[in-house]
Homo-oligomer: A and B are copies of this chain.
Amino acid sequence: MFKATLETLVKTTPGAVGAVLMGFDAIPIEQYYVQIDDVDLQLFAIEYTNVVKEIRKTAEILGTGDFQEVTIKSAGFHVVIRAVTDDYFLALTLHHDGNLGKGRFHMRRELATLRQALI
């Protein structure tokens, strides 16, 4: 079920190259990747878990409320990471010229279904 959701997310978002449903402990539940040269998308997911952990820690220190979503833009790729439950997040990676807005829209639409399946 998760695999199909991730595959649909990637295939319906122009420029998307991978999606992963992952624990905040850096252990993935499921992932779907398009093969691209010179980029290790598995490593991507693991490295970005460190970023998300840092953001959650920061939100806790500052008392700004629960972490919800982060969008990171670098010259080559854009990544959207969305908290699904307290334990899991959904990450979508796109080429820098991909349709980030559409990707985020699709992600949000899947949230309720994913949450239901995760608890």
Contact = CB atoms under 8 A, between A and B. Distances in A.
A68 interface: yes
Contact of A76 (B47, B64, B71): B64
Nearest to A61: B47
Interface in A27-80: 38-40, 43-44, 47-48, 50-51, 54-55, 58-59, 61-77
Task: Give chain A's interface secondary structure class.
Answer: mixed
A68 to B, nearest CB: 5
Contact of A64 (B65, B71, B77): B77
Contacts of A44: 62, 64
Contact of A66 (B38, B47, B54, B75): B75
Nearest to A67: B74
A62 B46 CA distance: 11
Contacts of A43: 61-62
Interface of A: 38-40, 43-44, 47-48, 50-51, 54-55, 58-59, 61-77, 96
